[in-house]
Chains A and B, each alone.
Chain A
């Protein structure tokens, strides 16, 4: 029996086709203790999230979640945003090589595409517990679409995006890179359209000053690239670490150029953030109040430490110091970025709602800023989303044999 497994696993080392995948499945059964431990932890996180989500539905989300009438969107929405931004970013970074033909980027493409599918699924997993009636959604999104709704476009386009990415990945596994490239291009178009619509979900709310305007869709796309670069660097490193393999020159070069993408996009987002604040301070009282919360108020730690320092400035410095060569610095930078960006999304979604809509009316009921604290149910579901990415990443590395690329 053990012999058989080894035999099949040997076949899997040879690249390509479903035979390799079959071998990979068997290979997944042979892993180090650390691999299994990570797999089990991820799986447990996922199960705990399902339990928490179902329990929340059972007792009513009003009781289970921290979200309220005044702050209807909580950490589940911001985590959804985090995952889909990451997914779009991975898709875009993978497309530089795989769709647009920049050779240096090709070694990271396959893993990036796989992770982009898994991160969007993690996003859908989290939002499934946020949406009160997913079954109604399945029906009425189709038979009663509202074409002025960005939520509708976002959902529909992300559906198309996930479909294209899955097909693209399948063709890559089947060793048909030409068709994969065409489908990949469609994936990019759907992804950009979907993602800018997600930005517009916030940007089109003309009653919410903090979000309203053309800034959000543009910011979201730039921000996605930033996330994508960080995520692919981190997971590529993790994969090699887990497999105990050494990177070849092409992969090292790929990480070096991805680092450059990281440097560029962090700079862009710093620039965007600076102007958001500078323009915001000449705005109305409500907008200024939101910005104050981030600069000096209750979200100042999140903003200065997590978003600015951990999410952008320190990684930028590390990326530059690494000269694209020092892997330790590069990986530390990308891990910090992923962590910081999670809070970037959180602040964006939450702070946008914390200024009461009647703040400027000056009524006694709304003299203070609102507050929101994630509940245990919500945090468990978020952890489950992370568990889902962990679980599928680990399985994917084995099943698809370390995403060894045939296209470079």
Chain B
């Protein structure tokens, strides 16, 4: 070994047992920082993390602010545009025909070598720094203090539509029936609060494209996906600085 040949004074002999543990910790920290950076807004591949992660703030990911910290990971390449998620959402949450809480975009790339079209499901990103909540004059929309879901209290909505103008994800519409803005609440009112574990869209998805879970639970599928250094994870519109909780990846 090279180390044995070089004699540097004061070089401490390390207990071989410690090194892997430290490496593991550093590795884990790197993972957390990646998430922080993703959440805070950059799209990074694992190879560039060290350089970029330390240039950005990772504090958000060091400790997830909510328990459970609800999040969704969208495996973009798995989406086949069957729109069962949209149907399930409409049915579960009484979404009127003129509105939607979630939808699936198409993106074409004629120069692509294999598949030329991909599908991108979108929904409310339940941001940690939500422009809608910041702007609402009457707290009709607010962050649920326990699970971080961006909620609506319809009776307080004055219909100024600031939240709609503010949202970087076009996730809000005005519901004429309730005379209030409506949006995705990760099915909190319709399902989670009644003991269900999944959102209607995640449950309806036949391709396992939408994975829903608790980001503060290291055993959860979302945590495992987001913290996987082998994969590139990104968020939509990181430039808006809203710190979204919906992550995208392929594979």
Q: Which A residues are closer than 8 A to B by beta carbons?
A: 60-62, 67, 69-70, 72-73, 130-134, 136-137, 140-141, 144-146, 148-152, 155, 201, 204-209, 284, 353, 356-358, 360-366
Given A133-B158, A149-B136, A150-B135, does the pair A62, B167 have CB atoms closer than 8 Å? no
- Whether B166 contacts A205 by the Cβ 8 Å rule is yes
Partner of A72, one of B106, B157, B161, B176: B161
- The residues of B that contact A209 with a CB separation of less than 8 Å are 239
Task: Mark contacts of B91-117 with chain A using CB atoms, 8 A cut-off: 1 yes-contact digit, 0 otherwise.
Answer: 000000011000001111000000000
- Interface contact B241-A137, CB-CB below 8 Å: no
List the one stretch of B6-14, B57-65, B137-145, B214-222 in contact with chain A.
Answer: B137-145
Interface 0/1 of B182-217, CB less than 8 Å to A: 000000000000000000000000000000000000
Contact between chains at A146 and B166 (CB < 8 Å) = no
Query: Known interface pairs A62-B98, A206-B240, A363-B120. Does A131 touch B158 (Cβ–Cβ under 8 Å)?
Result: yes
B131 touches A206 (CB 8 A): yes
CA of A67 to CA of B169 in the docked complex: distance in angstroms? 18
B interface residues, Cβ below 8 angstroms from A: 98-99, 105-108, 120, 122, 131, 134-140, 155-162, 164-170, 172-174, 176, 179-180, 236-237, 239-242
Can you identify 17 A-B contacts, CB atoms within 8 angstroms?
A: A60-B176, A72-B164, A72-B165, A73-B161, A133-B157, A133-B179, A136-B158, A140-B138, A149-B137, A149-B162, A151-B137, A205-B135, A209-B239, A358-B122, A358-B236, A364-B105, A364-B108
**Of B106, B136, B162, which is in contact with the most chain A CB atoms at under 10 Å from its CB?**
B162
Question: By the criterion CB–CB under 8 Å, are A136 and B168 in contact?
Answer: no
A377 smallest CB distance to B (angstroms):
15
| Complex Cα–Cα for A361 and B107 (A) | 9
What separation, in Å, do the CA atoms of A358 and B169 have in the docked complex? 7
Closest to B168 in A: A207
Q: Tell me if B168 and A357 are in contact (CB < 8 A).
A: yes
A67-B160 Cα distance, complex, nearest whole Å: 12
Contact B138 A69 (CB under 8 A): no
Q: Are A136 and B155 in contact (CB under 8 A)?
A: yes
Structural contact, B157 and A151, CB atoms closer than 8 A: no
Q: What's the Cα separation between A137 and B161 when bound, in Å?
A: 13
- Taking a contact as CB atoms closer than 8 A, the residue among B98, B107, B139 that contacts A364 in the complex is B107
CB distance from A317 to the nearest CB of B (A): 36
Which of A62, A134, A137, A353 meets B176, CB within 8 Å?
Answer: A62
Residues of A within 8 A of B108 (CB): 364
| C-alpha gap A173/B72 in the complex (Å) | 63
Whether B137 lies near A141 (C-beta < 8 A) is yes
Contact yes or no, A146 B139, CB < 8 A: yes
C-alpha spacing A361/B118, complex, angstroms: 12
A-B CB pair tally, cutoff 8 Å: 139
A361 touches B236 (CB 8 A): yes
Q: How far is the CA of A208 from the CA of B136 in the complex (A)?
A: 16
Question: Across the interface, which residues of A come within 8 angstroms of B159, CB to CB?
Answer: 131-133, 136
With beta carbons under 8 angstroms apart, the residue of B156, B166, B169, B170 that contacts A136 is B156
Chain A residue contacts of B242, Cβ below 8 A: 206-207
Partner pick for B138 among A72, A132, A136, A365, CB 8 A cutoff: A136
Whether B165 contacts A358 by the Cβ 8 Å rule is no
Shortest Cβ distance from A137 into B: residue: B158
Contacts of A132 in B (CB 8 A): 157-161, 174, 179-180
Write out the residue numbers on chain A whose beta carbons fall within 8 Å of the beta carbon of B122: 358
Partner of B105, one of A131, A136, A363: A363
Q: Report, nearest first, the 6 A-B pairs whose CB atoms are least far apart.
A: A132-B159, A207-B168, A152-B137, A140-B138, A363-B105, A72-B161
**Closest B-chain residue to A69, C-beta based?**
B173
Find the A residue at minimum CB distance from B130: A207
- For A353, the closest partner residue in chain B by CB is B165
A132-B158, A362-B107 known; A73 and B140 CB under 8 Å? no
- With the chains together, A315 CA to B174 CA distance in Å? 41
Residues of A within 8 A of B157 (CB): 132-133, 136
A114 to B242, CA, bound (A): 43
Contact A70 B170 (CB under 8 A): yes
Answer whether A208 and B137 are a contact pair too, CB < 8 Å, given A133-B158, A144-B156, A358-B170: no
Is B156 a contact partner of A204 (Cβ separation < 8 A)?
no
Instruction: Decide: B158 and A201 in contact? CB cutoff 8 A.
Output: no
A124 to B162, CA, bound (A): 17
Q: Are B168 and A201 in contact (CB under 8 A)?
A: no
Extra A-B contacts (20), CB below 8 Å, given A140-B158, A201-B162, A365-B105: A60-B176, A69-B99, A131-B159, A131-B160, A133-B157, A133-B179, A134-B158, A136-B138, A136-B156, A149-B136, A149-B137, A204-B131, A205-B131, A205-B165, A206-B131, A357-B168, A358-B169, A358-B236, A361-B105, A364-B107
Q: Which residue of B lies closest to A207 (CB)?
A: B168
For B139, the chain A residues whose CB sits under 8 A away are 140, 144-146
Chain B neighbourhood of A207, CB < 8 A:
131, 166-169, 237, 240, 242
Cβ A146 vs Cβ B136 within 8 A? yes
Chain B: minimal CB distance from A193 (Å) = 16
- CA–CA, A364 to B117, complex, Å? 10
A117 to chain B, nearest CB (A): 23
Residues of B within 8 A of A134 (CB): 158
Known interface pairs A136-B156, A206-B242; A148-B134 also in contact (CB < 8 Å): yes
